[in-house]
Amino acid sequence: MFLGLNQLPFDPANNNEPLQFGSASGPLVPEGLIENGGESSKKRKRTNAPSADNTRTLNVDSAAMTLPVSDPTAWATAMNNLGMAPLGIAGQPILPEFDPALGMMTGIPPITPMMPGLGIVPPPIPPDMPVVKEIIHCKSCTLFPPNPNLPPPATRERPPGCKTVFVGGLPENGTEQIIVEVFEQCGEIIAIRKSKKNFCHIRFAEEYMVDKALYLSGYRIRLGSSTDKKDTGRLHVDFAQARDDLYEWECKQRMLAREERHRRRMEEERMRPPSPPPVVHYSDHECSIVAEKLKDDSKFSEAVQTLLTWIERGEVNRRSANHFYSMIQSANSHVRRLVNEKAAHEKEMEEAKEKFKQALSGILIQFEQIVAVYHSASKQKAWDHFTKAQRKNISVWCKQAEEIRNIHNDELMGIRREEEMEMSDDEIEETTETKETEESALVSQAEALKEENDSLRWQLDAYRNEVELLKQEQGKAHREDDPNKEQQLKLLQQALQGMQQHLLKVQEEYKKKEAELDRIKDDKLQVEKLLENLHEKQENCTSRLCASSQESDHPLEKAIIGNPVKSEREALLVGIISTFLHVHPFGASIEYICSYLNRLDNKICTSDVESLMSRLQHTFRQEMTGVGASLEKRWKFCGFEGLKLT
């Protein structure tokens, strides 16, 4: 049963009989009616005579479903759903209140807008509103709505920019023309790709047309009035992913991004503050113009900016220094004017504050008077003569006046507190200023005393230098007058000769010492050669002794070699290795032994351990174990046996 439509006495979704409408006049021959799809069919035979006024009647052949014209309400409902005025078989209007301008009966909801002749598709339906689907009649086929009690058909996630839909469940005899006829009401169709397996893909011109096409999902399609299985099917409409749609959507997104960037750029340019006007280059003519502007109060700021730019550019030189000095002097002349203006504004502000304070105090006095009036009226002498409403109004007015008075009083007290704080700040500033002035005076006095002291010291140094110069001049004069000048020169010559002789002796001694050093170097080289020869001889002797010790195990020959354990560290290693090999009676490889020793000390070398064990032949013995590829050298502890031998 469909919401929004009056109930028909038959179910068109469960009717498989062909429905044909004719225009020729003739009797209506109803034969059967299928009620609710699950009940047994009841055939009714009824014949109607042709109308006397020869009006056009609706004929159905013997195979068609029957309409009980005895029920005028059902007949009117069916004709209203088909978009026709509700007329009887003879042409008379069944319901007189039918409005042809509205195209519907009073109290009957509107027909589906997808019926032929209307050429429009319903607008998007809110998700919370139940969708009412009606029968859709096309030229070559009929679409029957699905059961409203069933859940809506499932759809996949909508791809971005989707303009293509997948349509499945098409009739086997369905053609591309029928597909166009059904779906062209949803919008302009760009392309159709039909498959031999009863499905197709339809690409629309716009995205919103896809939503209209999804409206048809779940409808049962029937070609003409045929009941053949190949002429029926159940439509399934779903979103389809197409490369063209994705490409167009990406192009659109890029275009929107470009527009957004352009809009932001324009907004930034609009909000950007205007650039300052360019500053002219320095010249004598421009300098004179700027100097005149500096004298004018209205053009002072512009001229000062130009002057600052010129100085920062480095336009000041010896030729233009006087012009710049005059402009700086003109700028300095405005300092007094600015100070006077500031003082005038401060005076105006103080006067305005004083006026505001006086006005506020006057307002407070008036508020006090009004509150006093309310309080006097609240006394029993006058209060008893007022009515209840008057007393209520007076009390409310009194509260309001007191609140406003308190607010203004707090404001006035705040102003007075601020003035007191300003006064205290001024006093603190004055005291700090006086202290600073006193400290600056003391510092200036100390600096002046330092300068005087330095100047006096420099004068004293100058006097001393002059005195020394005078003494030197007097000494020269006395020397010139001295008769013993020749004797002094002789003494000096003798002293120089003695120094020369001494220098010659020192040079000779230096040469002797160099010769001795050369001899010592030669002796050293000879000694080094002798040491090398001795080392070689010692190595040869040790090799011979080792060979002889390997040939015979006699203890006397081994005693010639000396003690095999050279240090306490080697003795500790011997003890640790002996303990380790005693635990391993079958022996262990040198790598296994060294891996155990490296846990105790990382500096232990494999070659040192092996040489130490090879020197102690009565304590450790090396044996070959294994056969073939598994041949391995293992060290064993033989100290107990060696103890008996030694």
pLDDT 10s digits, 594-637? 888 888 888 888 888 888 888 888 888 888 887 767 778 888 88
Which residues, in sequence order, are CB contacts of 132 under 8 Å at separation 6+? 2, 3, 4, 5, 109, 112, 148
Contacts 24+ apart (CB under 8 A), 529-533: none
Angle at 350 between CA 346 and CA 351, to 5 degrees: 115
- Global pTM value: 0.30
Please report the pLDDT score of residue 494 as a whole number: 83
Contacts 24+ apart (CB under 8 A), 507-513: none
The upper half-sphere exposure of residue 68, i.e. CA atoms within 13 Å in the direction of its Cβ, equals: 14
pLDDT, tens digit, 9 for 90 and up, residues 503-519: 888 888 888 888 888 88
| Whether pLDDT at 348 is above 80 | yes
Contact 248, 237 (CB under 8 A): no
Contact 167, 202 (CB under 8 A): yes
Return the beta strands (E) in 348-402 as ranges: none
Contact 204, 188 (CB under 8 A): yes
Residues 536 and 371: their CA atoms lie apart, in Å, by 129
Contact 622, 634 (CB under 8 A): yes
pLDDT, tens digit, 9 for 90 and up, residues 237-264: 999 999 999 999 999 999 999 999 999 9
| Whether pLDDT at 546 is above 70 | no
Q: In whole numbers, what is the pLDDT of the chain averaged over residues?
A: 75
Percent of the chain at pLDDT > 70 equals 73
Average pLDDT of the residues in 26-46 = 36
Measured CA distances, 105 to 12, 112, 120 (Å): 21, 14, 21
pLDDT, tens digit, 9 for 90 and up, residues 372-395: 888 888 888 888 888 888 888 888
pLDDT, tens digit, 9 for 90 and up, residues 280-290: 888 989 999 99
Please report the pLDDT score of residue 103 as a whole number: 40
CA–centroid distance for 429 within its chain: 50
From the list 163, 169, 234, the residue with the least C-alpha distance to 202 is: 163
